[in-house]
Every structure is written in C-alpha cells, then in structure tokens.
Structure 1
Amino acid sequence: MGQRVYIFDTTLRDGEQSPGVSLNIGEKIQIARQLARLGVDIIEAGFPISSPGDFEAVRAVAREVKGVTVAGLARADFQDIDRAWEAVRHAEQARIHTFIATSDIHMQHKLRMSREQVLEAAVAAVKRAKGFTGDVEFSAEDASRTEPAFLFQVIAAAIEAGATVINIPDTVGYAVPGEWGSFIETICREVPGIDRVTVSVHCHNDLGLAVANSLAAVLNGARQVEGAINGIGERAGNAALEEVVMALYTRKDRYNNLYTGVHTEEIYRTSRLVSTLTGMKVQSNKAIVGNNAFAHESGIHQAGVLKERTTYEIMNPALVGVSKSNLVMGKHSGRHAFRQRLEDMGFALSEEELNKSFERFKKLADKKSDITDDDIEAIVEEEMKLAPQTYSLDYMQISSGTAVVPTATIGLLKDEARLEEAACGNGPVDAICRAVDKITGINCTMISWGINAITAGKDALGDVTLKITTDGQRVYTGRGISTDVLEASAKAYINAVNKLIWEAEQAKAAEGE
C-alpha cells in the first residue's frame, strides 16, 4: 500500500477569486457539502478578514459542514489570524492557513519589508495561530521565485514555531515540472525538521503546467496538493483537482501507489455544481469532466470502443460519475422512476425540491419528446435555489422584430401578489431586464450574458447564465433554464436580482445585530 496524498480544496477561496465569480453563503455551503461528499481532506472556505460576507460564509461552512477540515486564510498579521480563528473555531477540525511572500520581488515591491522582517513576521504568525489550534499551515508566497537559501531558512523557522503543514506555492505559475520536482525534493532533503510536517504544493496554471507541476511535486515528496474543482482561480486558475486525483489513480504504477481519499464517482457531480453556481462553463475538451472527455466521433474510435472500451478509454466514465441510463424518461414516467433516476445521478433532494422538480419535469415532457439526464440535471439544479425567491416569473409577453421596437410586458409574483410592467429595449432581452427593473425598483447593469444548449435538437433546453451588478464591484450570477431562450433569460435575470436582494437583506440584518 502506498502513502496517502491529502487533497486541499481552495475552490471557495482561490476559486472564488476568479474574475466575475461571487458566491453567496448558501452557494458556498452547497459546494462545501458536495466537497465533503467528494472526500477532500481540507476545504479552504475563504479569507475571513477580506469582508464581512466572507467571514460569515467561512463561519457558516465551519459550523454546518462535517467530516472535513475547514481552513481560513490569513496574512501573517495578528488581526487576520484572530479573525480567521473566529470564523473556523466551530469546525470539527479547524485549520489556520497563514502566509507571507518570500521572493525578493514581492518583498521589495509589495511588502516593502526586509528579509529579517519577513522572517520575524512568519514566526510570529505561526506562533499566534498555534495558540488557537494545533493545525497550522504556513505558506511562503511566490516560493518558486524565492532565493532557495532564504526560503529554506523561513520554512525551518516556521516549523520550529509550530507549523504542521508547509505549503510551497508556485504563486504565478512560473515553474516547469522537472525544475519544480527537483526543487521540492531538495526542500524535503535539506530543510531541518521537514520530516515532522506535511509538505504541500499550490500550483497556478499561468503556463498550463499546474497539474503537471503538482504531480512532479508528489513524486518528489509532497503529500498535500492544493487546487480547485475545474481548475478555477486567479488568472489562468489553479491545478484542477479532478485531474490530479485521476492521474494518481490511473497511473498508480508511475506514482508509487500513492492514493487519495476522494470518492471519484462524485467528481462529475461536483464539477457541474461548481460550474453552475460560479457561472464558469467547463470547456468541452476539458480533461475528466468536459462533455467530450468520453465522447467518440471517429468511426475507427467508435468501432474500437464498441468492441472493447479500453481501446480508447483509459478510464471508465462511471468511475468519475459519468453514466448514461437506459431508463427512458418521458411524459408517462412516474414519480418513483423520477426519484430513482435522481438517486442514480447523485442528487439528494428534499421532498419539496423533489415535488417541484417533478412538476417541471412533467411540463417539459409535454414539450420535449426525449428527456435526457442533462435535461433532468438542469431542472433539478434550477430548483435547488440557494437564495429566497423574492420575485418569480408569472408570465411574459414579447413583441420584437426587424421593423418594431422590442417591447416586453412582464408579470412577476411577490408574496402571491402579481406585479406588472412593460418596457422597451435595444433587443428583447434588454426589454425584459428593463421591465424587471421597473418592478423591483433596482437598476442593474448586465455584465455578461451567455446561452448554452444543454441537449441537441430543435426542442433542446436553453441554459442562460448572466452576471449583473449595481455598483461595479459586487457581481451576482443568475441562471435560467427553458426551451424558450427569452424565458430562460428572464428567469436568469430574476434569479440574479433575487440573490442581490437577499444579500442586501443579510447585510442589513448583520448591521442591526
């Protein structure tokens, strides 16, 4: 039996720092629960000092998500560390993750600190965190561009101060695999006390090498890998955890039988949930979780797979949760079959969510002859609302064409009362949004709008994802599903507005406490 590699998931912290991504507390809890089902070892739930909202989200994850270590990020600053502890203290296992930059370029231009000051700050931070919890991780930011002798000195001092995990980040994705593997091996061999801690790596993807660098590190002594689902994160993103996990699993022969605690059959489900809630679509040719990852169009490939799957598939799709059911779902399908199909797909719905999803499924079945797993998944994900639905779409009437000004008449329901308005716009979607703004009294700016056909055919479900803002800073993502693109757009816009309203109410309530 090989050694275990621990999986540190930073989807909710570094992943949320992706441009345009903003998750509310409910969404963070939903993702965190799925990450726990996936079997990651550590969830970095956020950066508590960064904002009141992030603090509350980290605290909520720590309180409500069980069976996993919950970490809060903190700079090497006492105020940061104290705030992080307040956020994670109620977790079953709480970790404080403190960091400071160690490269000359960061120390000179960002921190404006000397090496001696950085060393002193690192030691003080670890000792402060150790006073709260026995599980302390220290990161030397921009380690890949740090002068080795100084980096080794800082790491040794952090270990002596009480750190239990030492993270070596390739913060700007500068390293290449051979160099990085050798670097990690040298650290594991040369730094005093390194055998007493877990060595971790956090690799960014600026050169497209984050996964390769993470695997090179593991081969050379690292036993924790940090990354995010779908590889999301700052700039070009982080190491995609699903790729790291499946590489270790598939190539045990190369990686000395190293293993993780990840339940691989939950990978696809986790990927889809993160994609849905962040609004970041997974590219079709993305390894492991892309739509084309197990698709075969070439006749030669198809013939080979039909005769023996392993001719062109090195992984069984079912191993990562990609499976196609022979159970045909249509308008004559009953609630029991629908519930069973959901269970097979990995969904655990409340009775209310099940009833609403089944009602929508039956309505769709009257319009669409062939209901696929993707259709069902889209229905369920839309019903699993993570913010109260202040407004819901009652009806819409659109007038548009090449010779008329696009006009939308919209009816929304709020507390069972119908509210109606009409508006003109530059196009039908713009008219819809303006009419909704009139009803809600909130003037929003749409930052992006995108449509994705969930399934093939003229009757395919349209999946609209859009982002709105009112102040140019806080961004809200909305998603709507329908066979009608305009209806999907209206639902997505209303979904985003509901999130905005809910967050404003939460902030107001927090101020009143």
Structure 2
Amino acid sequence: MAVKNPRQGAAMAVYRSSRWQSESGRSNGKSIYLETTLPISHWANLWFGIILQSGDEKWRFFKMLIDIGYKEIEVSFPSASQTDFDFTRRLIETPGTVPDDVWLQVLSPCREDLIKRTVESLKGAKKGLIHIYLATSECFRRVVFNFSEEETLELAVRCTKLVRSLTKDDPSTAGTEWAFEFSPETFSDTNPDFVLKVCEAVKAAWEPSVENPIIFNLPATVEMATPNVYADQIEYFCRHISEREKICVSLHPHNDRGTSTAAAELAQMAGADRVEGCLFGNGERTGNVDLVTLGLNLYTQGIHPNIDFSDLGRIIDTVEICNKIPVHQRAPYGGSLVVCAFSGSHQDAIKKGFELREREAKGYDDPWQIPYLPLDPQDIGRTYEAVIRVNSQSGKGGAAWIILRGLQLDLPRGLQVAFSKVVQKNADSLGRELLPKEITALFEQTYFLTDNPRFSIVDYNITTDRSRSPAPAEPGKTPVTKDLMRVFNGVISVDGREFKLQGRGNGPISSLANALRGVGVNLDVQDYKEHAIGRGRDVKAATYIECTAAGSQMRVWGVGIHEDVVQSSLIALLSAASNFASSRPGSPFVAKPANVNDNVVELNLNGST
C-alpha cells in the first residue's frame, strides 16, 4: 500500500506540555499545545498508565500510580467482569481515593450493551474518560467481524453517539467531567485514509472542543514494522485530520518486534501528544511500551517526565508483587544490574569519573558526566555501592572502588593491582561474583586490619641515636638533631611469641625494618602512601607500604590504620611482614631459636642472643 507522505521536520514532539496539567503560567491548567518552534524545554508529553491486575493487587497498584504522579489511569474493563466493575465503584465510592485532578479511564468494545455497563461503572466520578475501540484493518474486518468499511464506520459513529447520550448529554451525569477516547484498533495495519475517514466521522459525532479535545488513540496493536513506519503513520494522521487543535493524538505501541520504545519516541516527534503504556512493559504478548523507559529516557536528556521515579525500588517491588512477574535484571533503568559494572575497564572509568567529580566539587545541579552511567543512580533510589560488581573478570578498579566506599581507604595503584589478584582468585574458587561486604572482609583479612596478624606491636619507643654528636650549635641555640638516626626499641609479637627488638634507621619505618631482620624478615621499603580518614578529632591516618624481599623480586603490601601517624606506618610495615611470612609457609623467622622459658627474648641486630 503506497501512500504519499513526504516526511517533514519534527514539529514539537517529546517536549510538548501535558494535557490537563495544572501549573502556574500554563493556561490555568487547561489544555495547551505549544508552537512548533519550541526549543527543548522541561515539559514532557502526557503519560497514561494501564492497570492489568485484579483485587487487592489492583488497589495497591492504583495507589502507587497516584503517588508517582499519573493523571490518567485506565483502571478497568467494567463490562468484562463483575470484579472489574466493583473495583471501579470502590475507587469512586471510597472517599479520598481518587484525587480531583485524576481521570479514571474505562475500556469497552463497540457493543452497545457493554458501553452502557461501562458508563454505569463511572457514575459519580469526578472525572471520567470513556474509551471505546473498534478494529479497522482489512484483516480484522474480513476475518473477525465480516464487516465492510461502511459497516465499520457506521458502528463507530453509532457507539460514539451512544456514549455521548449517556455522558455529556445526560443531565443526570452533570456532576462528572467527561472525556472520550476512540481507538481504531489495528491502526498500524489499516489503510491510513480509512482511519482518517472513521475518525472524522467519530469526531463529528462527539463534537469536541479545544478545552476538552477528543482522544484518538492510534495503536500498533501488533507491532508489524520498523519504528519509523509507525511514526510516518502518526505524522500522516496528524497532518490530515481536521481541527487538529481539538484532538489529542495518543499512542499505544506494543512490543512484538522489540522496538516499542523507539516507535513511541519517533511517533512523539511526528506530532503525537500522549502515550499509553504499562510500567516495565507489561501487557499482552510481549507487552505494551514501557513507561519507565520512556520517562527516564527523557530525564537523561534534561526533560523531566513529570513522573516521580526517585524511589524506583519501591515501584519495582509493587509491580513485582502485583503482577507476579519479576522485572528482568537487565531491564532498562529498573533492572538490578542496570547501573552495575563487572568489566574491569568499565569499573576503572567509573571510579575515575567519581574521583574527578569529587575533586571538582560537582554538586546535584551540575551536569552529570560519569563514564558508563547515563544518569546518577541516586536519582532513581540506587546507591553508589551497587554500581560496581566484582567477579573473576573484574579489574583493579572495581575492588578499589568498593574499598573506598566501604572503608574510606584510597588504595594506591600498586595495592589495587595486588589486591585485585586476591579478589580474582577468591572469585574463581567460589565460581561467582563477590558481594561488597565480602570484598571488604577479604581486604581486612588479607592486610590484617581485623584478624590477628603474624607480626604485631606489643610495646615500642623511638629515640634519637645520639652516639653521633650533631653539628655544634651556634651560641645560644639548640643543637640540630633532625638528621640523626632513629632507634626503634620495642616488643614485637611473632605468631604469639614476643621478642624484644632493636633497630636503627633514618626514621621510624626504616628503624623497624632494620629491627625485623633480627627475626629473619629482611624487607626493603619501595613505596609509601598515606592519607587521612575522617576529620576533626576523630581523624585517623591510613598508611600503605610496599616492600620487596631482600635479594628477590617478591613484593608485598601492608596497610595500617591508627590515630597516630607514626604508629599507623609501623602497623603497615608489620602488615607487610605478616604477608611476607604468610607467603613462606613453614619457613623459620627467628635466626636462632628463642628460649622457650623466656617470655621476652633479647636479640641484637645480627640476630644473635
């Protein structure tokens, strides 16, 4: 079927303001359609939610849709079951349930007896929206109904007039503000000129106004073509229907080809005003278009969808409980893995992005630019701790990020590499990813932050070696001793046995390293880093020391945390010594056996008693 429809530039599309949305400065809350020359604004099209559940689940779902901001909700198919009819009545008759600005929409096929039952279900509502549908495609007319085009058109008009007579023309229902929606079902498979003919006749029968437009809902009842084709069909309808200002063009894309989101977005660009869909794409077969995806797609482009997705976890819980269908782990925005990274290079990029954002003191109002994260996870109720997930394929950045978030330890690059190997080995042995709490526990265990280390300080003091006299002081001044050697004297516990050690060096760390030679540990310090944890009186020092075993290429790391900077560095060196000892199982550490009867053994620097 060839239709001449030369495509035009997008008129207004995804940044049109919502119908019936009351906001200061926006036509006193009445319908408003902006001119086609708009730049991108902060407004979004109208979103329409559909409830597919029953019973208590349906009630809970309705309350959730209200809480997050939906203003038009299709609540039932009242003529289909007593349950749906009773649910509609319960909504209307329960005080405070339906806000005054929310439209209750109910659905009916084009059958006169069912339409009467449907209208009856809405009596007493503040705002009622009657939605009737009739399939218009050649396939349905021939196979299902055995209707001609004329018979289809006549039925659509007759049912529209019936709805009108039972609603806005009936004085007994004057307390309800009525709206009307007509769906040429199977629109996307119908001759577009026949759709226009039917809709023109329906519009004439209803007589809409600019203030209360008729809704023409144009479904891709079964998704049958690429998204651009659906958008072209919408554009053709918008350009050729008369009295466009009295019409709200609504979309109803299904997801049979997996492109309902693209179809909805392109069709909005083609001129549509409204989208019908379900949260997380529930619905018939492969589902309706996902309103969460559509809304947050706008949000990531700087356009607020006017729907509150800030606690997406609560929305997911409600949807899963009510639908008894889990949201897929990789569903856009809602999936549990959406803002998670397993790849090492991805994790490293994310970590660097957060570090740069922190250094530049970026806040909530600054543009969000973090690699691999299209939006701030906190905007949808996620935590940063959940961003990075670690398995055997993850690199150094992932584990380092978790340690930074969990323990406030900013690991130097060398330690990141060393610890990532520990993590990968552990993940391989378990055959699964490691949870953040498991990674922090593994770090504390590996570097002896909580478990008993092989080496630990029992008592110590560090003094200045005055065996070498400092340079003579000027008259009246104190001799300068800063360049003199330091002497470590202390008691070190090695695997539970205590040894009194002494060592000399140019500072506390080198003097302790020298002393450790007395128990068979010969380490050279290669790298040293430190930073503060916390602020004010509660500040602590975190120290990282990399050592090599003398005469070998073996490298070990140690970590120390303490309120005292010097003691933190000594603990870090002993942590490295503990790792050195653990890498040499069965090897003796004390050069000469200590007297088992002595609790403390005197050793000189050569290891002789």
**Which band: TM-score by shorter chain?**
0.5 to 0.7
Task: Note the C-alpha offset of 1:166.
Answer: 0.5
- Residue 195 (structure 1) aligned with residue 248 (structure 2): no
Task: Note the C-alpha offset of 1:277.
Answer: 1.7
Task: Note the C-alpha offset of 1:193.
Answer: 2.1
**Residues 371 and 54 of structure 1, relative CA distance in 2, 3 Å threshold:** farther
After superposing the two structures, state which structure 1 stretch, 54-63 or 209-218, moved more.
Answer: 54-63
| Aligned partner letter, 1:165 | I
Q: Which residue of 1 aligns with 2:194?
A: 150
CA distance in 2: counterparts of 1:262 and 1:166, whole angstroms? 23
CA distance in 1: counterparts of 2:234 and 2:149, whole angstroms? 22
Cα deviations by residue, 1:39-89 (Å, 9 ceiling, x for unpaired): 122110121111111211232234443232110001112222221222223
Cα deviations by residue, 1:110-154 (Å, 9 ceiling, x for unpaired): 122211111111112222223315300100000000011111101
Q: Which residue of 1 aligns with 2:375?
A: 315
Task: Note the C-alpha offset of 1:107.
Answer: 0.9
Match of 1:8 among 48, 58, 72: 48
| Aligned partner letter, 1:299 | G
CA distance in 2: counterparts of 1:66 and 1:325, whole angstroms? 38
After superposing the two structures, state which structure 1 stretch, 260-269 or 307-316, moved more.
Answer: 260-269
- Residue 178 (structure 1) aligned with residue 228 (structure 2): yes
**Residues 271 and 101 of structure 1, relative CA distance in 2, 3 Å threshold:** same
Unaligned runs of 5+ in 1: 17-22, 327-369, 373-513
Q: Which residue of 2 aligns with 1:102?
A: 136
CA distance in 1: counterparts of 2:145 and 2:374, whole angstroms? 47
Task: Note the C-alpha offset of 1:176.
Answer: 1.7
Contact 1:142–1:172 at 8 Å: present in 2 too? yes
Contact 2:43–2:306 at 8 Å: present in 1 too? no
Contact 1:73–1:84 at 8 Å: present in 2 too? yes
CA distance in 2: counterparts of 1:72 and 1:210, whole angstroms? 23
Cα deviations by residue, 1:174-231 (Å, 9 ceiling, x for unpaired): 1321111111111111111233111001000000011111111111111100110110
SS class of match (1:226)? strand
SS class of match (1:48)? coil
Match of 2:76 among 42, 46, 71: 46
Contact 2:218–2:252 at 8 Å: present in 1 too? yes
Residues 335-354 of structure 1: pairs in structure 2 closer than 5 A: none
Match of 1:34 among 58, 61, 64: 64
| Aligned partner letter, 2:344 | G
Match of 1:93 among 127, 145, 159: 127
Contact 1:159–1:193 at 8 Å: present in 2 too? no
After superposing the two structures, state which structure 1 stretch, 303-312 or 68-77, moved more.
Answer: 303-312
**Residues 238 and 85 of structure 1, relative CA distance in 2, 3 Å threshold:** same
Q: Which residue of 2 aligns with 1:72?
A: 106
Cα deviations by residue, 1:340-370 (Å, 9 ceiling, x for unpaired): xxxxxxxxxxxxxxxxxxxxxxxxxxxxxx9
Match of 1:117 among 151, 154, 161: 151
Contact 1:41–1:261 at 8 Å: present in 2 too? no
Q: Which residue of 1 aligns with 2:328?
A: 283
SS class of match (1:40)? coil
Task: Note the C-alpha offset of 1:325.
Answer: 8.8
Q: Which residue of 1 aligns with 2:219?
A: 169
| Aligned partner letter, 2:382 | V
SS class of match (1:32)? helix
Contact 1:45–1:61 at 8 Å: present in 2 too? no
Q: Which residue of 1 aligns with 2:21?
A: none
- Residue 55 (structure 1) aligned with residue 99 (structure 2): no
Percent of pairs identical after alignment?
28
Cα deviations by residue, 1:9-59 (Å, 9 ceiling, x for unpaired): 11x1xxx3xxxxxx4322111100100111122110121111111211232
SS class of match (1:135)? strand
| Aligned partner letter, 1:26 | D
Calculate the TM-score normalised by the size of structure 2: 0.49
Contact 1:9–1:42 at 8 Å: present in 2 too? yes
Task: Note the C-alpha offset of 1:288.
Answer: 0.8
| Aligned partner letter, 1:149 | D
SS class of match (1:264)? coil
Task: Note the C-alpha offset of 1:324.
Answer: 6.7
Cα deviations by residue, 1:382-422 (Å, 9 ceiling, x for unpaired): xxxxxxxxxxxxxxxxxxxxxxxxxxxxxxxxxxxxxxxxx
**Residues 70 and 323 of structure 1, relative CA distance in 2, 3 Å threshold:** farther
| Aligned partner letter, 2:238 | C
CA distance in 2: counterparts of 1:154 and 1:2, whole angstroms? 35
Calculate the TM-score normalised by the size of structure 1: 0.58
CA distance in 2: counterparts of 1:325 and 1:78, whole angstroms? 57
Q: Which residue of 2 aligns with 1:384?
A: none
CA distance in 2: counterparts of 1:180 and 1:105, whole angstroms? 18
CA distance in 1: counterparts of 2:47 and 2:281, whole angstroms? 14
Contact 1:38–1:267 at 8 Å: present in 2 too? no
| Aligned partner letter, 2:125 | A
| Aligned partner letter, 1:204 | H
Match of 2:163 among 129, 146, 149: 129
Contact 2:296–2:305 at 8 Å: present in 1 too? no
**Residues 157 and 3 of structure 1, relative CA distance in 2, 3 Å threshold:** farther
SS class of match (2:256)? coil
- Residue 244 (structure 1) aligned with residue 294 (structure 2): yes
Contact 1:143–1:151 at 8 Å: present in 2 too? yes
Residues 459-498 of structure 1: pairs in structure 2 closer than 5 A: none
**Residues 158 and 319 of structure 1, relative CA distance in 2, 3 Å threshold:** farther
CA distance in 1: counterparts of 2:113 and 2:286, whole angstroms? 30
Contact 1:184–1:222 at 8 Å: present in 2 too? yes
Residues 375-414 of structure 1: pairs in structure 2 closer than 5 A: none
Match of 1:24 among 36, 45, 54: 54
RMSD: 2.2
SS class of match (2:114)? helix
SS class of match (1:198)? strand
CA distance in 2: counterparts of 1:159 and 1:271, whole angstroms? 39
